[in-house]
Chains A and B, each alone.
Chain A
Amino acid sequence: MNYHLEKNYLDESEVAWKKIRDGLGKGMAELGEEKKDMVVLGADTIESSRAHWFAEKFPERFIQVGVAEQNLTGVSAGLAYQGKVPFAVTYAAFLVGRPWEPIRTTICYPENHVVFVSSHAGLATGQDGPTHQMTEDIAILRCLPGFTILCPADYEQAKKAVRAAYDLKGPVYIRGVREATPAFTTEQTPFEVGKAQVLREGKDVTVIAHGFMVYWLLQIAEELKDSLSLEVINAHTVKPLDEKTILSSAKKTGKVFCAEDHNIIGGLGSAVAELLAEKHPVQVFRHGVQDIFAESGEPKALWKKYKLDKEGTKKELLKWLK
């Protein structure tokens, strides 16, 4: 499979660093031109969560609810019942944390098609600190029936996720990140909801991630290639999980290492462990936020301290393999 990744994408200095939240915002503003039933809702964070490009272009289809995320949810549900396609946009912690039960009842239970577009997921949020670094978003949505969870790996993939989300049914969450991260996929890179991408084939260990950590895994695979053959999978759709792709890789390698900027409880690592425990028990390692609240700091400093940068991830992988 040719994924049409950027030329020399493994070289950090050659690849552009772009924000996933920018891709989401541009994606919404572009899609709005075609889809006249698309409505975007903001909650007093429209610039930083990148809903403002849509709002400026289509003011008649933009709704500002103020600092009121439960209302954001209920109003979105009402719009969906009436046949609109609402995109509710704000920081992850407030978007899905504050109104979890209204999401469950007004959107999930009746299978309303609402797209939740977040920003500020993960330690990548940085200086605002743990209240704003949402590291449990996947966990609390994964357990809701019928939710689709998309975690784009970079800027281009974020744009595609917006488009794909529109075409789905039921509730959808797209995980947005504040900090710039390597933009290694291109416009030509395919994107299909529910289809994990084996970006690099290998035989010794399966390494699997969502979001920007996919990029670190690609670099690690290259760095270790003389001693270890890593199979790198981009699990951009955490739910529904691409069981087939993950199972066949696990059968080949017999070892699965999962990485994510999310609590190790309830995220991709958990999803993979659940799958493999039932269908093909192999050794699984969940690398991520170790069930703690972190702290304020620059994203890169936080990734380093909490071992979510490339070096930390590599060390954890090698330690586990020893």
Chain B
Amino acid sequence: MHQQYSIQNLEKKANEIRQDIIKLLVEAGSGHSAGPLGMADIFCALYFRVLKHDPANPLWEDRDRLILSNGHIVPVRYVAMAHAGYFAKEELSTFRKINSNLEGHPCTKKIPALETSSGPLGEGVSQACGFALAAKMDKANYQIWCLTSDGEHQEGMTWEAVMLAAKYRLNNLTVIIDRNNIQIDGNTEDIMPLESLRAKYEAFGWHVMEMNGHNMREIISTLEEAKAIQAKPTCIIAHTIPGKGVSFMEKDYQWHGVPPGTDIPGEPPKAEQANIALRELRTLARRIEAADLD
């Protein structure tokens, strides 16, 4: 199913994904930068290593189900899917434009392989529970992966689902939290404190793991381990850096919902932002490549 990508090749692929995210956002002239860049390594690990899937047969019955709850980070998914062969890379330039399949937020009527339509926050874990319950009824043995953001853990609906998953011992469900510490209006702990996420999930009866969301080796081993946990539903708190790879975007909540080319006081001139971002990512790519040789 997967051509075996080495860790370094996965890192290179993640870097290409980041570059294409920048290009797609610039072309669209609107959309979210921070979340997609921060989740590029995890999406790369999923689509090119961990996920059981077949781009040539997107609705293959035994595929793992990947549910994106925080729909606004869909640029990273579109780019990863295009790289994996779900659709042509040329289509990426239609993102957010009229008559496109690449809606601003995921639309399953246009791309069924997205599994769920989303955008409004806090609705993913519930739906993932539904997928997991159905899989159990069918005695199917694929995995349900639900990607969520930290911000949407402020929605009550998320916790209603967390409770249910424990009740029904949904051990075929893994929730991954993009713990990037930002949301629209600021840092999560200033807007509405979430900590301790770990203690909360554990108190709700989940198995909790944490990982550095930018260490490819660690991502893969943690995701593989999650599949092996049988007693409980599993939550992976992925510590990520929003805007990862682009120095002026990193850890800055102001880049939550805008593309490169946006006037923000204190940031590089808007006309140069995309070039700086791409230059930094290419430099990083060369470093990964150089490391490949030794």
Contacts and interface: CB of A to CB of B under 8 A. Distances in A.
A5 interface: no
A47 B257 CA distance: 12
Contact of A131 (B31, B119, B151): B119
B98 A296 contact: yes
A67 B30 contact: no
Point out which of B30, B99, B104, B184 has the most chain A C-beta atoms below 10 A from its C-beta.
B104
A305 B155 CA distance: 35
A70 B160 CA distance: 13
B96 interface: yes
A66 interface: yes
Interface in A247-278: none
A46 B117 contact: no
B156 A68 contact: yes
A42 to B, nearest CB: 7
Contacts of B30: 126-127
Contacts of B71: 131
A48 B98 CA distance: 22
A45 interface: yes
Given A67-B121, A127-B31, A131-B118, A297 B98 contact: yes
Nearest to A297: B98
B94 to A, nearest CB: 10
A98 interface: yes
Contact of B97 (A48, A70, A71, A297): A297
Interface string B106-137: 01000000000111111000000000000000
A67 B151 contact: yes
B97 A44 contact: no
A46 B97 CA distance: 26
Contacts of B107: 129-130, 295
A296 B192 contact: no
Contact of A93 (B31, B120, B257): B120
A61 B171 CA distance: 45
B98 A128 contact: no
Q: Which bucket holds chain B's interface residue count?
A: 20 to 34
Contacts of A301: 97-98
Nearest to B110: A295
A230 to B, nearest CB: 30
Interface in B130-161: 151-152, 154-156
A10 to B, nearest CB: 28
Contacts of A70: 156
A130 B110 CA distance: 12
Nearest to A301: B98
Contacts of A45: 184-185
Nearest to A46: B185
A134 B47 CA distance: 33
Contact of B156 (A48, A71, A127): A71
B104 A296 contact: yes
Top 9 closest pairs, chain A to chain B, by CB? A66-B192, A297-B98, A131-B119, A66-B154, A129-B104, A296-B104, A127-B96, A67-B154, A127-B30
Interface of B: 28, 30-31, 71, 96-100, 102-105, 107, 117-122, 151-152, 154-156, 183-185, 191-192, 257
20 contacts: A44-B192, A64-B191, A64-B192, A65-B192, A66-B154, A67-B154, A67-B192, A68-B154, A68-B156, A98-B120, A127-B28, A127-B30, A128-B119, A129-B119, A131-B105, A132-B104, A295-B98, A295-B103, A295-B107, A296-B104
